[in-house]
Structure 1
Amino acid sequence: MATDLELLASFPATGEAGPVLNDWADAEATLHTRFPPAFRDFLDTFGGAKFDDFLHVYRAGAENEYVDLVANTVKARGTMERTRDWIRELLAGRGLEPAQLICWGGTDNADMCFLVPHDDPARWAVLTVIGRGREYDLYEGPVESYLLRVLRGDLVSEVFPEDFPDEEPGYERRPWI
């Protein structure tokens, strides 16, 4: 039986195939975290990709700061801390604060996709927050499962627009970005 990561990778793809290089040592040291193996596999497969010409997946160590996991995480943590009281309240219920979120992706509408850490690497969650407003998705599971369910239409996002995903979702590989 195929894994969610394999099912996600089986969606139609364009762009350059090839290895995605992530600087895990720098990302973990800078962000003071240890990424779960499932997330590393996800980013090693999809880092730099763009789903349905809308949702960017960041890469750890990208030269372009707009798609760099570390740069986007540092910026998003500050934004969540300063402007989103309700995020602080949501995270406080988990014993966390915005400074622990990991921003793994974002959209053309300024929506932000986060990992929500947990002591158990198998229990990290996904939090997607709308660019402006209070809408969010909280998914108890790995990134690849969340994204697969959204793209299949099994999970209707409170954040993403009605026209995402397309009727036939796919992604563009951009491992060099």
Structure 2
Amino acid sequence: MTDLELLARFPSTGADHPVANDWPSAEQTLHIRFPASFKEFLNVFGGAKFDDFLRVYRAGAQNKNVDLIRKSIDARATMADSRPHIRSLLADRGVTPSELIRWGGTDNADMLFLVPHRDPDAWAVLTVIGRGAEFDLYEGPAESYLLRILRGELTSRVFPDDFPDEEFLVDRAPWI
């Protein structure tokens, strides 16, 4: 069973059907070609909120607060103008802040990014605290990162100690 299939088995509420993402617009606007595995992840979980705390964005959502395209553009500017430790981390990987993809966020203003790579299987997840210097770098796809966080197999320096709750729901909101 894949990590995406395992993630989809968590208890959920809301609509359990494919999410509409505007991939052509996202790829053209953000100057990137997304890995197939990330598209699959967002086609299942775009708009979803995990444990009433972590929201996954959608590509081309009408709601600017959950639109991967708008959130990525805004975060690219912010990350380029601040957080030298993140710029240094990205430079070591041959990436600039202008290439980051913001795919999610938390109620604490924490930001979840994809760090692109020439090899679609080598993209990483970067989680940056909303205020402060803490961050996590996970070498792997978004669905694997999220699954390991939710199972307690991976501890984040960014997320609060009480995330996730022992029993939690995934609120699927593909229309958001």
Aligned match of 2:69: 70
Unaligned runs of 5+ in 2: none
Aligned match of 1:164: 163
Verify: 1:19 aligned to 2:34, yes or no.
no
Verify: 1:39 aligned to 2:38, yes or no.
yes
Alignment partner of 1:106: what SS? Answer: strand
Pairwise CA distance, 1:170:
2.5
The amino acid across from 2:107 in the alignment is D
Contact 1:151 1:169 in 2 (8 A): no
C-alpha distance in structure 2 between counterparts of 1:92 and 1:33, whole Å: 18
Pairwise CA distance, 1:84:
1.0
Aligned match of 2:86: 87
Which residues in structure 2 correspond to 1:1-177 (within 5 Å)? Answer: 2-177=1-176
Contact 1:27 1:70 in 2 (8 A): yes
Count of residues in correspondence between the two structures: 176
Pairwise CA distance, 1:83:
1.4
C-alpha distance in structure 1 between counterparts of 2:166 and 2:40, whole Å: 27
C-alpha distance in structure 1 between counterparts of 2:66 and 2:6, whole Å: 24
Alignment partner of 2:69: what SS? Answer: helix
Pairwise CA distance, 1:16:
1.7
TM-score (norm 2): 0.99
Q: CA RMSD in A?
A: 0.6
Contact 1:59 1:69 in 2 (8 A): yes
Pairwise CA distance, 1:153:
0.3
Between the aligned residues of both structures, percent identity stands at: 68
Q: Which runs of 4+ in 1 moved over 2 A?
A: none
